[in-house]
Chain A
Amino acid sequence: MTNFFFPLLALLTVQVSAQQFMTRTGHVHFFSETPMENIEAENAQMSGLLDVTNGGFAFQVQMRAFHFEKALMEEHFNENYVESEKFPKATFQGSIRDWQAGWKDGETHDVVATGSFDFHGVKQDRDIEGKLLWNGKAWEIETRFPVALEDHQIEVPAVVKDNIAPVIDVDVTATLEPR
């Protein structure tokens, strides 16, 4: 019985590791540029999951793990704008459109992720363009997409309207390794 069971178990394990790829150290950076002030923040704790059987794709990021140049910016970001206590995470769930097994060829491919982007408690259906590369060991993902604060009901008071861009550019880079 053991002779029979263990090879099969091993086979199952191989199958699991080959179909899902994951990261816990994805990098998110955003940038708000105005003539008055530039504001940027970094977060190196994005987690993400890619299912290569169908291109299914999900990521999440802790709002409180964003770090700013100035401590006060970080406090205002969490307290006044994204309300991290109420909405601790931003997430994306969807899939990479027209997923092809042939993308595992060491070339960079332009892809579009279609899905639901949930930020500040407001879900938006988004098509996000990005680049995908199989580096021989892991999938590398890179994207830049705009986020309009108004779309996610983030209010900017009149006194600081000139300091905060209405549309923020978000950069994401991640390397997803076999799970």
Chain B
Amino acid sequence: MRGLAILAPAVALGLFVATVETGSAQGLLDALNEAVEDPTLPVTATFKDTRIVNVQSNETPAEGVLHFVIAHRFGTLNSGAYELWGLDNAQMRMAFDYGITDRLAVGVARNTYQKTYEASIKARLLRQSTGPDAFPFSVTWYSVAMANGLKAPTDVNPYYFSHRLSYVNQAVIARKMNEDLSLALVPSFVHRNYVETTEDAHDLWLVGVGGRYKLTQRFSINGEYHHYLSQQFGDGFSPSLSLGVDIETGGHVFQLHVTNARGMFERSFLAEPVGSWGDGSVYFGFNLSRVFTVKS
């Protein structure tokens, strides 16, 4: 019994030496990999820009970064050669978004369409991450207030400032499936203080889906569709469907697309898309974004 007791540590020592020898000769890197746990890191660049086409993506400008967007939507493609298939008839949107922190951004914008002003706030609530504390998707909140700037209609009396306002709240639930494919689910709630007819609902619920697929490092195809959860929308509107591409060139992202939404603010493209894919009354357009590092 005592003899065995002496033997056991000796055998253990022998085994130990053997392990160390092979360990140091071959797999120092493997030993390192075992000793060091990979850190939890956020997944970045789920989308190239803060928008998929019209709708917000989960991305926000980083802290201290000013994100400037110039966007155009030309006239309908079916308007013929006289209008150069819509190019003569552009609507413009100019927007400034600023990252207060890496997770919180505020923005202002002006649209020529219905002379609409926007003020917005966007917050990354949850971030997709990898590593020991991995999280499978990102959730970004977006709230925007929009003010119609057209002259007061003569047939509405009284017409207060509050008549001009509408609001959208939405959650962008996004996941970078892999290096190339990113998908988003975007439930939206639209409230319009004033609507044109009694047929139109003040409140609308929609659920949108969007995504991008990278064909090359700097080129992707993007799409989005917003489904009305009930027949709450008025005549002449069809659900918003947009298809496009992202082209990245250094500090700029060009987004070129075709959409049935005339305006580039949420009220217009979610609740009131006036065009229709069926008859070709869709709009060619682009978003051009540039970032400026204001504070580093």
Contact = CB atoms under 8 A, between A and B. Distances in A.
A12 B13 contact: yes
Contact of A12 (B16, B35, B41, B65): B16
Nearest to B2: A1
A12 B218 CA distance: 55
A80 interface: yes
Majority secondary structure, A binding face: mixed
A24 B36 contact: yes
B6 A4 contact: yes
A62 B35 CA distance: 15
Given A4-B9, A45-B39, A159-B250, A51 B24 contact: yes
A49 B296 CA distance: 34
Contacts of A65: 39, 41
Nearest to A52: B24
A178 to B, nearest CB: 13
B9 A5 contact: yes
Contact of B28 (A4, A79, A93): A93
A100 interface: no
A51 B28 contact: yes
B178 interface: yes
Interface residues on A, range: 35 or more
Interface string A71-93: 11011001110010110100101
B249 A58 contact: no
A179 B31 CA distance: 12
A95 to B, nearest CB: 9
Interface residues of B, number: 37
Given A12-B16, A159-B249, A60 B9 contact: no
A75 B218 CA distance: 12
B55 to A, nearest CB: 21
B36 A47 contact: yes
Majority DSSP secondary structure for residues of B touching A: mixed
Contacts of B65: 70-72
B251 interface: yes
A59 B9 contact: no
A53 B251 contact: no
B33 interface: yes
A160 interface: yes
Nearest to A92: B29
A60 B44 contact: no
B13 A62 contact: no
Contact of A22 (B5, B35, B41): B35
Given A58-B32, A86-B179, A79 B45 contact: yes
B177 to A, nearest CB: 11
Contact of B32 (A53, A60, A69, A163): A60
A101 interface: no
Given A4-B5, A60-B29, A85 B13 contact: no
Contacts of A163: 250
A49 B32 contact: yes
A14 interface: no
Interface string B1-27: 000011011000100100010001100
Contacts of A49: 28-29, 31-32, 35
A64 interface: yes
Contacts of A53: 24
Contacts of A56: 24-25, 28
B13 A8 contact: yes
Contacts of B250: 159-160, 163
A54 interface: yes
Contact of B24 (A4, A54, A74): A54
A78 B45 contact: yes
Contacts of B5: 1, 4-5
B33 A60 contact: yes
B97 to A, nearest CB: 13
Contacts of B41: 62, 64-65
Contacts of A179: 35
B100 interface: no
A53 B32 CA distance: 16
B62 A71 contact: yes
21 contacts: A20-B24, A24-B36, A47-B32, A49-B32, A49-B35, A51-B28, A56-B25, A57-B28, A58-B31, A60-B36, A62-B38, A69-B293, A71-B63, A71-B65, A72-B65, A72-B293, A75-B44, A86-B179, A88-B38, A91-B29, A159-B249
